[in-house]
Amino acid sequence: MSAALIVPSRRLFLTTAAAWAAIGVAPQLLAGDALVPTPRLTEGPFYPDRLPLDTDNDLLIINGRPTPALGTISHLTGRVLDRRGRPIRNAIVEIWQVDNQGAYLHSGSSNRERRDANFQGFGRFLTSSTGEYYFRTIKPVPYPGRTPHIHFKVLRAGKELLTTQCLIKGEPRNEHDGIFRAVRDAKAREALLAEFTPLPGANLGELQARFDLVLGVTPEVE
């Protein structure tokens, strides 16, 4: 599979639909209200320095390999919105994170020799007309110096619109994480958190999480 964007498989679309039905959609804004923009957080030094050939939205399975990645299966969904709650379609959402051993898909990762070769480590998704995205990945784990998190980047028409991170709501390590603590506003902090909860009907201990990305500026639309 090439690094170009692809249409996700039917299996993933069905899983997406089930996850959205379980989670529900964000409430509509009242007149005059505005959403809290998702704070920008550092890209960090471990954006993949060599992208994998497989960059789809299922990070647990790499094409051609029968063995899935280790970790707690998590269905991560959300929407890309402007401050008025309007969906941003045709935006590229990228994620990258450490594997279950705490290693990035990067040559500079301190424990790269222990990296799970079956974990894709990076994925992309093109948002739908309702701004939705979906990834199947693992629940993020900590590594020395950082609380568990997933990196996000949003691009549209070749322009980078947002780089941020998603943290686990209720994770005790958050309050000792320097990057998270640097965000002083309580509402802004809350916008960086996602709750990972059991996926109804799943028999493999799978989790679901919702993380909406709210842009501080409205990109030009087609």
Nearest to 78, CA basis, from 64, 65, 88, 68? 88
CA distance 172 to 183: 16
User: Residue 28: its pLDDT value, please?
Assistant: 44
Burial 123-135 (b: 16+ CB within 10 A, else e): bbbbbbeebbbbb
What's domain 10-22+43-214's architecture? Answer: Sandwich (2.60)
Going from N- to C-terminal start, the domains of the chain cover 10-22+43-214
Q: What is the pLDDT along the chain (222 residues), one digit of tens a residue?
A: 333 443 344 344 444 444 444 444 444 444 457 899 999 999 999 999 999 899 999 999 998 788 999 999 999 999 999 999 999 999 999 999 999 999 999 999 888 889 999 999 999 999 999 999 999 999 999 999 999 999 999 999 999 999 999 999 999 999 999 999 999 999 999 999 999 999 999 888 999 999 999 998 766 654
pTM for the model: 0.86
Question: ∠ CA(161), CA(164), CA(167), 5° rounding?
Answer: 150
User: Residue 218: its pLDDT value, please?
Assistant: 65
CA distance 3 to 26: 31
